[in-house]
Chain A
Amino acid sequence: MATVEAKKHHELYKELGTIVGPKYVSDERAVLLSYTRDISAFPAAKPQGVVARPGSVQEVVELVKLANHTRTPLIPMGGKNSYSGVPDGQPGRGIVVDMRRMNKVLEIDEVNMAVTVQAGIHLGEMLSRVNERGWGVHGALMPHYGDTVGGQLSGYAGGGWGQYGPSVGFNGHHYLLGLKVVLPDGSVVDTGSGEGGISSYRGHTFTKLMHGPDFSGIFLCDSGMFGIKVEATYRMFRPPKFQKDGVRYWDNPDGPNEVLNELWEIDPHLYMQPYSRFIVLSPKIPGSSEEIWFLHWLSLGNSEEELKLKFKTVEAACAKHGAKLPDPAIADAMIERLGVHENWEVGKLANMGQMPFFELVVSKRDLMESIKWACEYLDNLIIKMSKAGIDTSNIPLNRTFLPAGPEGIGIIAVCPFFNQSNKEAHKMVYEGFLEFLEQAHRRGYSFDGTHNNGSKYKARFWTPQYYAFVSTLKKTLDPNNIMNPGVYNF
């Protein structure tokens, strides 16, 4: 007589069910596999042992204490919109902490212009919620719908539209008022204002750095290695009422760069308004050598007169530096692709293929040199792929630079879109990506990617002193190394 073996569950399956509710725990292999890939299409991680979906700070606290007690790795996860792979964790044993159940807006404090959210909320939902009341919060260039607040802050804290134009990390640097974090020992810390942090801030006037040092920063871009973010408070602002898009083009990236350099010098700053944006995008048409550099901008104003003045100023700068006016249909298509509102959604590009963004963050001084280098790198990669017999005619290429003048930096992203069914292309793009990170760092450029592969590369280039400093912090906060082991090579 055949015997049916009872399914052997993960060692903590029952305890996790007690903490978050049995419905929100799974150790089914298929479910775990669905947590092994991010948006990059780079090799899937090996599945962890179990996934739990906490619904409150207290549940996260208990979950962390259990993991600490049993020395079981935790792999916090948000919207899986990272570009450099899912962290290694401990295959077969680690606990994926899926944070998306904690997706509520806790408070919109209009008097103090602040919004407090749970960290599992999608960025798009947070923005929509505050927008319903006539407010804005600084978002990200993308992802917009898929990214969670916790995931974004654990990465580079939001790249895109800052108050003073496009910027990197503005959520963390300028507009994040505080965080609530569950530390690896299960204790909860509020960062931001001191004196009880966020919880005492609510309903009171908030002045950052008045009550002591602000340690929010160590949890930004930490890839979740220092704790699990459970709440965040952001500054809100009133968005301008009027807006207008414009598009011009050149056959090289120097033209738009000159325009932007000129605009950066205007005082008061022309686009010192939330959402104002400039983005330069160069799609290379597959199978041809034609390359066009589009400058797309969005002017905003609180009156029609202000809007007109700003728009005309940009138009004039473009004309001065030899811009061409595209066919209206092309201009409309560009605006549609880039999104007419704040967000530039990843999904808008999804039909071009998988998007392994080779993304650099460079100083303003290095902008043109690094753009040219990144484009050349991409072209050489395509040539290499062609020589290897890969049909590259169906691999659209995009080159983007997002200059952040007032920040003194620029974001550059080149992307060989490919279909993940093309295994050879997949392999070569992945190898090319790793080589790109290596070369970029040798040149002194920073790159996006704070998750698996990206964080490992970043850590490889840290100075011994810096590595020792971060290592001391890690060992102090997380002596058992249960928090996202593997990221930054810890």
Chain B
Amino acid sequence: MSELEKVRADVYNCVRCMVCSAKYNWEQHVLRVCPLWEHSAGFWSNLPAGRNQLALEILEGNLDVSELPVEAIYECLLCANCRQQCGALDLATGKPFIDQPAITKALRAELFAAGLAPEGARMFGDNVEKTHNVLGGPVKGRTSWLTPDIKVATDADTVFFPGCLAAYRSPEIAQATAKILNKAGIKFSILGEEEWCCGNPLIMTGQLRLAKKVAKHNVEQLKGKKVITSCAGCARCFMQEYPELLGEGHELNVVHIVELLPELIESGKIKFKAHKGKKEIVTYHDPCELGRYRGIYDQPRKVIQSIPGIELVEMVRNREKTWCCGGGGGLKAANYALSLEIGKDKIPEALATGAKRIISACPSCKASINDTIRAMGKEAEIKAIDITELVAEES
């Protein structure tokens, strides 16, 4: 069965009402739905409903995969704002009636299978084939984030899975997470060189055969363990993509660190430093893969609000309405300039809160937001950090 066949029902469910082209909403004044539509040439094919129609035309036999506009398909952020704002629910199941990100991923899979994926997307696969990480870093460098003060067990029931980005690009996130776990007395091991890419970037770019291979490997390594990760993408992939990819029964027992932190704070396992004087204002950016995909909005806020010296001020678009950082869906590899343009919409919202630090819970969001801040020359005014860094710093 082709990937498009699997989403046939979603494709035919879309009635092209074009709510996904909305820029404003009567009830939620600040809503804008599709970053790609706003920042691209804006043809219908750049819109979620337009891409759905292209899928329809293929299923109807009116269009060949080779005729698909590759950029429009690969520039989607998979931020799921369209699915969220579409709001149409299946009356029988209560689930989203049209899974637009799934349709886009299916189109990408068809393009990849036809050898038409862009180079930036293929690079992910090449890197994973060669080095088991999406960035192409050396296999031996997988654990270079470890510092001597971090205690790692060899035989623990819990495995800390930092993911490629934290392991290679943002070691400070991996370090902060490990230190939090050490402080809380949670014994954990790591997979070391056996930690492979979770497969999320491969699935997003249509490379399903390779994604299946890495998923099988990771399941073999992690089965029966409790997995803790600080990567929103890895967590979502393990939970939502592995059962799709490998079939039922391949779910992993995984939590993102923000799901664990409230419990650790409440039980007193993590204690924050006392604070006197004026509080620091911070704001929180909801990663799409934690928020819209998994509904995790309250936990990170609870964590931030429990830190004595910190005051959380929300951006005007937050939670379900959060504007993507610009780094989702592999866009940075497909079109870096466009990724920055989309990200630029977020910075004024963050600055308006009075915050000098944007807290997030995803290495990819942190990197994308900081890239945008640099591109805007706003480094002196604001920066992004991970929630684990904030907790490690304040505890």
Contact = CB atoms under 8 A, between A and B. Distances in A.
A39 B15 contact: yes
A132 B43 contact: no
Contacts of B9: 421
A28 B68 CA distance: 9
A471 interface: no
Given A37-B53, A53-B41, A101-B42, A122 B17 contact: no
B16 A31 contact: no
Given A30-B68, A350-B97, A128 B24 contact: yes
Interface in B12-39: 12-19, 21-27, 29
A80 to B, nearest CB: 6
B22 A122 contact: yes
B100 to A, nearest CB: 12
A144 B16 contact: no
Interface string A22-41: 01101011110111011101
A31 B69 contact: yes
A341 B26 contact: yes
A30 B67 contact: yes
Interface in A299-358: 341-343, 345-348, 350-355
Contact of B17 (A28, A34, A146, A341): A146
B21 A420 contact: no
Interface in A116-142: 122, 124-125, 127-129, 131-132
B44 A35 contact: yes
B17 A30 contact: no
A346 B49 CA distance: 14
Contacts of A145: 17-19, 21-22, 25
Nearest to A39: B16
A23 B41 contact: yes
B10 to A, nearest CB: 11
A33 B8 CA distance: 19
Secondary structure class of chain B's binding surface, majority of residues: loop
Interface in A1-57: 23-24, 26, 28-31, 33-35, 37-39, 41, 44, 51, 53
Given A31-B69, A37-B53, A122 B16 contact: no
B67 A125 contact: no
B26 A30 contact: no
Interface string B61-90: 011000111001000000000000011111
B26 A124 contact: yes
Interface in A339-393: 341-343, 345-348, 350-355
Interface in A83-127: 98, 100-101, 103, 122, 124-125, 127
A23 B43 CA distance: 10
Contact of B88 (A33, A131, A341, A350): A350
A313 to B, nearest CB: 27
A24 B86 contact: no
A235 B383 CA distance: 45
A79 B18 contact: yes
B12 A420 contact: yes
A28 B69 CA distance: 8
Contacts of A51: 43
Contact of A34 (B23, B26, B54, B97): B54
B16 A80 contact: yes
Nearest to B57: A33
A81 interface: yes
Given A39-B17, A353-B15, A30 B42 contact: no
B50 interface: yes
B8 A421 contact: yes
A488 B25 CA distance: 34
Contacts of B170: none
B63 A125 contact: no
A41 B15 contact: yes
A24 B62 CA distance: 24
A56 B78 CA distance: 31
Contacts of B21: 79, 100, 122, 145-146
A421 B60 CA distance: 9
Given A145-B18, A146-B19, A355-B15, A30 B90 contact: no
Given A103-B23, A132-B29, A145-B21, A421 B42 contact: no
B114 interface: no
Nearest to B54: A30
Contacts of A131: 26, 29
Contact of B19 (A129, A345, A352): A345
A346 B26 contact: no
A419 interface: yes
A143 interface: yes
A143 B19 CA distance: 9
Contact of B43 (A53, A124, A351, A419): A53
A31 B43 contact: yes
Contacts of A100: 21, 42
A76 to B, nearest CB: 14
The listed residue with most A CB atoms (<10 A of its CB), out of B17, B68, B86, is B17
A124 B22 contact: yes
A143 B41 contact: no
B45 interface: yes
B7 to A, nearest CB: 12
B380 interface: no
B17 A350 contact: yes
A343 B67 CA distance: 38
Contact of A350 (B15, B42, B69): B15
Contacts of B13: 350-351, 419
B91 interface: yes
A38 B9 CA distance: 19
Contacts of B42: 24, 53, 98, 100-101
Contacts of A81: 17-18
B254 to A, nearest CB: 32
Nearest to A121: B23
B67 A28 contact: yes
A364 to B, nearest CB: 30
The listed residue with most A CB atoms (<10 A of its CB), out of B9, B16, B41, B56, is B16
B17 A342 contact: no
Contacts of A127: 24, 26
Contacts of B54: 30, 33-34
Contact of B16 (A37, A124, A341, A353): A37
B43 A26 contact: yes
A81 B44 CA distance: 13
B16 A38 contact: yes
Contacts of B25: 124, 128, 145
A73 B256 CA distance: 56
Contacts of A355: 15
Q: 4 nearest interchain CB pairs?
A: A146-B18, A34-B44, A128-B24, A421-B12
30 contacts: A26-B41, A26-B43, A28-B67, A30-B54, A31-B69, A37-B16, A39-B17, A44-B62, A53-B41, A53-B43, A81-B17, A98-B44, A101-B42, A122-B22, A122-B23, A122-B24, A124-B23, A125-B22, A128-B26, A131-B29, A146-B22, A346-B15, A346-B17, A346-B19, A347-B87, A347-B88, A350-B14, A350-B19, A351-B89, A421-B9
Interface of A: 23-24, 26, 28-31, 33-35, 37-39, 41, 44, 51, 53, 79-81, 98, 100-101, 103, 122, 124-125, 127-129, 131-132, 143-146, 341-343, 345-348, 350-355, 419-421
